[in-house]
Amino acid sequence: MTSNAQIGAMTLYIAAPATPAKAAIIVVPEIFGLNPGIVAKCDKLAAQGYLAVAPEIFWRFAPGVELNPDVEAELQQAFGYFGQYDADDGVIDIEATIKAIRAGSLSIGGTTPIAAVHKVGLVGYCLGGKLAYLAAARTDVDASVGYYAVGVDAMLNESHAIAHPLMLHIASEDGFVTKDAQAAMHSGLDALPNVTLCDYPGLDHGFATESGNRRDDAGATLADSRTEAFFKEHLA
């Protein structure tokens, strides 16, 4: 079952499994909004038995945005939104989403209540990957995964607060995460027992998108299999 829900003025896409959810996973989008790729990721998680909830990240200044990264004008539009975005607001939105999931206050289409789910994970992509890191450090989310997370090297001072498992997928040829940034991530995080960094040699930013020019099938399949096993272990 799929639908939209609201937390205040923030819209969320929800994909619910046919049977009671074994856990919930928040899906934090890239800078392209709740586009078909993010919807597809939610639907896949629901098929695995999870309640998948994707919050709209730019709702404060660009509600309803849905962009295609393979269209240059829309890519530039997304970069503009990224420049306006405050990650601290994103953490607030994630906290509100976690609380709503655990409290059972979400509903399908505003009419069909969704039962409370107490185990909550999070997966994020690009900007959403950055928020996965911040959620691991600042919230009580049970497990987090970030794909090609941007800006983590500038936030390593928060790593001491990571209390629950975190996995980060790093593309070695990421045009938005330099080699120096990747090295800093390894230097700052490798020793932490609850953090796992996975490197993908030769791959670029966006390699695990569901479709489009950026996708690498082999890399996406490998990363997604690791994510699936990670959530199976830590959201049980």
Q: Would residue 205 show up in a list of annotated catalytic residues for this protein? A: yes
Contact 22, 54 (CB under 8 A): no
Instruction: Burial-class residue 8 by CB neighbours within 10 Å (0-12, 13-18, 19+).
Output: exposed
Q: Which of 93, 142, 169, 205 is catalytic?
A: 205
Which one, of 30, 37, 28, lies nearest residue 55 by Cα? 28
- The answer to whether 130 and 31 are in contact (CB under 8 A) is no
Residue 230 burial (C-beta neighbours within 10 Å; 0-12, 13-18, 19+): buried
Alpha-carbon separation of residue 182 from 23, 129, 151, 168, 204 (angstroms)? 31, 14, 10, 11, 13
* Active-site pick, 93, 142, 153, 174: 174
Is-catalytic flag, 204?
no
Torsion from C-alpha of 57, 229, 235, 107, nearest 10 degrees: 40
- Which positions are annotated as active-site residues? 174, 205
